[in-house]
Amino acid sequence: MIIDILTLFPESFGYLNSSILKRAQESGKIQINLIDIRNFSTDKHKKCDDYPFGGGAGMLMTAQPIFDAVKSVQKENSKILFPSPVGKVLSPEYAKNLSKQEHIIFICGHYEGIDQRVIDLIKPEEISIGDYVLTGGELPTMVIIDCLARFVDGVITEESLNEESFSCGNLEYPQYTRPQVFEGLAVPDVLLSGNHQEIAKWRNEQSQKRTKEKRPDLFKISK
Ligand code: ADE
């Protein structure tokens, strides 16, 4: 999968070069390119923002640099996403579908937003990461990439995917590692028993209990 990120702030994407996403790129499963929208501005000072017509607070990103940046990378099979609070909210199913795309282009808005004509002409899919407003599309873009990358074949194991919260509707069970006792708290005996059937049963019970307590809206009986 190839991901092109169009942004005025390429320096804010350091997170993508660490841990699992770094490995996914090194092994060629995902290629991420950062494209500086400012390089496409035809203004002699490379200006990319201006005051909104009709007045109002703050600045808007102008249409021309974004439009030309998109055209420089768009192919027939490109999925173009515009992170915005007005979009459909990201879910595991949505992320899984995105993980099957060959090419995704993210348009990162900033300041008070972007000129509506970019949206009218390019018709990107608007996608939200929740009902709150952030200062730009950079963080949502990283959130969406992190979430979809986990569904790209080979980025994490099938087992980890299946055991995560939400994979069967409920939240994930509690996990423990060494030492066996920490600050007087011991790891539950069943996890040390070596009895895989009992462990699976305990985990399923814990998962249901946790979901009922913490997110009763999500609760599902699972076997
Ligand atoms: N840009 C600003 N706020 C956002 C949000 N909640 N989701 C996606 N993009 C955004």
Q: What pLDDT digit, counting tens, does each position of 15-24 carry?
A: 999 999 999 9
Residues of the chain with CATH 1.10.1270.20: 159-214
Q: Which protein residues are within 6 Å of ligand 1, measured from CB?
A: 83-85, 128-130, 132-134, 137, 140
Q: How confident is the model at residue 180 (pLDDT cuts 50, 70, 90)?
A: very high
Do 79 and 106 contact (CB within 8 A), yes or no?
A: no
Other Cβ atoms within 10 Å of 211 Cβ, number: 22
Residues of the chain with CATH 3.40.1280.10: 2-156
* Structure-token match 């808005």, residue found: 109
Please report the pLDDT score of residue 160 as a whole number: 85
Q: How confident is the model at residue 6 (pLDDT cuts 50, 70, 90)?
A: very high
Which residues, 6+ apart, have CB-to-CB distance to 116 below 8 Å?
Answer: none
What is the whole-number distance in angstroms between the Cα of residue 118 and the centre of ligand 1?
Answer: 17
pTM here is: 0.95
What is the whole-number distance in angstroms between the Cα of residue 37 and the centre of ligand 1?
Answer: 19
pLDDT tens track for 98-149: 999 999 999 999 989 999 999 999 999 999 999 999 999 999 999 999 999 9
Please report the pLDDT score of residue 164 as a whole number: 81
Instruction: Specify the amino acid at residue 14.
Output: G
Please report the pLDDT score of residue 116 as a whole number: 98
Atom in ligand 1 nearest the alpha carbon of residue 131: 6
Please report the pLDDT score of residue 95 as a whole number: 98
User: Which fold does the domain 2-156 belong to in CATH?
Assistant: Alpha/beta knot (3.40.1280)
pLDDT > 70 fraction of the chain, expressed in percent and rounded: 99
In the CATH scheme, what is the homologous superfamily, with its name and number, of domain 159-214?
tRNA(m1g37)methyltransferase, domain 2 (1.10.1270.20)
Q: Report the C-alpha gap between 152 and 113 in whole angstroms.
A: 30
